[in-house]
Amino acid sequence: MGELRLMKGNEVIAEAAIRCGCDGYFGYPITPQSEVMETLMELKPWETTGMVVLQAESEVASINMVYGAAGTGKKVMTSSSSPGISLMQEGLSYIAGAELPCLVVNVQRGGPGLGTIQPSQADYFQTVKGGGHGDYRLITLAPSSVQEMNDFVELGFELAFKYRNPAMILTDGALGQMMEKVELADFKPRRTTEEILQTCGSWATTGKTSQRNRNIITSLEMDPFRMEQNNLRFQAKYKELEENEVRYEEIMCDDAEYIIIAFGTSSRICLKAIDLLREKGIKAGLLRPITLFPFPTRIIAERSRQVKGFMSVEMSSGQMVEDIKLAVFDTGRIVPVKYFGRMGGLLPSPGEVVEALENNFLKGN
């Protein structure tokens, strides 16, 4: 059993980063995630593990500091909230194009524009469809508890390095500010120079020696035929992610006639909603995508054999619902896929979810 603590989601991101042997954090303050950098600055990991923590002049700079450090094979991360993540899209596109591993945490708030500081899930499209320019994907993890906020830091780095691709923890202001019991991982030492050379030496800018050609980190390729080969290599990697890394959780889905699909904070609300629906004799289940890219398409397709309908519950105008529709569409079956959600920083209540499901599927029958 690891060390147990009562912690905020934002604080645990910082603690987990230090404990998993992270080499550097570069960030810029923005509500509702400023506690990530505040906690790191208070813990002073540069005196213990040697982890670098730096407050950048902007999110544009912080993601590019991550780009630079990641290019040397280091385990580095940043965090921000929606408007700041928008500023990072240029850097994320470059990092994906240069095939570098890194971790980005988006503690979402409502938008568009300056929007609100209240929680939201409206950055789903931006995250899973590649918010910057060019054909690329982010490995996207959606925690639904403070414990998962902790666990996904290490998992995010693991996947990022395995696939040499940026990973994002897509969470929101509710999970960032919420306090829960969390079991912390044991401290892992940062990788040594030798370990980095062993695992990343073939591509990272670790200094050109006489034993190898120079390593160049770039996303630039002027020859269109070679650029297409790069694109095909990226697509093959994304395909591999879709084959091997899909993660989801199912609750009471085996006999379900109606499946609610929700991630993160909204999935917690839906957990209560399916209890209320079951009490009413409605066979409802919850499917919680944990990876949003790769999306759990296959299990949705399988469940479409048995259900009378899916309902996507989101803190947005209905973004993930499109991916659910695509998953069902590809099966050739005709199963209704509905959406319910709140926007502007509001959370749907369990009662509202129950009512929406009844209105969508059971009224008028």
Partner 1 sequence: MDIQDIIKPENLVYQKSKIQVDVISHYCPGCSHGVVHKLISEVIDELGIQEKTIGVSPVGCAVFAYNLIDIDWQEAAHGRAPALATGIARTNPDKVVFTYQGDGDLASIGAAEIVHACNRGENIVVIFINNAIYGMTGGQMAPTTLLGMVTSTTPYGRNVELNGYPLKITDLIAQLPGVSYCTRQSVHTAATVRKCKNAIRKAFKNVMDKKGTSFVEVTSTCNSGWKLSPVESNNWMVENMFREYPQGDLKDVDKLIQQ
CB of 200 or CB of 284, closer to partner 1: 200
Minimal distance, residue 83 CB to partner 1, in Å: 17
CA distances from 41 to 45, 138, 157, 178, 340 (A): 8, 28, 21, 20, 40
Which phi and psi (to 5°) does residue 55 adopt? -90, 115
Minimal distance, residue 57 CB to partner 1, in Å: 4
Minimal distance, residue 76 CB to partner 1, in Å: 7
Strand positions, DSSP E, 227-336: 248-251, 258-261, 284-289, 291-293, 309-314
* Contact set with partner 1 (CB under 8 A): 23-24, 26, 52, 54, 56-58, 60-62, 64-72, 74, 76, 90-91, 94, 98, 205-209, 214-220
CA distances from 216 to 62, 205, 220, 296 (A): 21, 7, 10, 35
CB of 91 or CB of 350, closer to partner 1: 91
CB of 196 or CB of 274, closer to partner 1: 196
Minimal distance, residue 312 CB to partner 1, in Å: 35
- Omega before 348 within 30 of 0, i.e. cis: no
Minimal distance, residue 65 CB to partner 1, in Å: 4
Q: Report how far residue 103's alpha carbon sits from residue 178's, in angstroms, rounded to the nearest whole number.
A: 21
Q: What angle do CA 41, 46, 49 make, to 5 degrees?
A: 120
Q: Report how far residue 98's alpha carbon sits from residue 70's, in angstroms, rounded to the nearest whole number.
A: 10
Q: Report how far residue 334's alpha carbon sits from residue 315's, in angstroms, rounded to the nearest whole number.
A: 26
CA 40 remoteness from chain centre: 21
CB of 89 or CB of 360, closer to partner 1: 89
Minimal distance, residue 79 CB to partner 1, in Å: 15
CB of 69 or CB of 128, closer to partner 1: 69
N-terminal to C-terminal alpha carbon distance within the chain:
51
DSSP-assigned letters across all residues of 54-116: EE-SSHHHHHHHHHHHHHTT--EEEEE-HHHHHHTHHHHHHHHHTT--EEEEEEEB--STT--
Q: For residue 254, how many other CB atoms are within 10 A of its CB?
A: 10
Phi-psi region of 317 (alpha: psi -120 to 50; beta: other; left: phi over 0): alpha
CB of 30 or CB of 65, closer to partner 1: 65
CB of 210 or CB of 365, closer to partner 1: 210
Minimal distance, residue 354 CB to partner 1, in Å: 48
CB of 125 or CB of 203, closer to partner 1: 203
Q: Find where tokens 């240069």 sit.
A: 98
Which phi and psi (to 5°) does residue 266 adopt? -65, -25
Comparing CA positions, the residue from 164, 171, 133, 128 lying closest to residue 320 is: 128
Minimal distance, residue 132 CB to partner 1, in Å: 10
CB of 70 or CB of 353, closer to partner 1: 70
Minimal distance, residue 210 CB to partner 1, in Å: 8
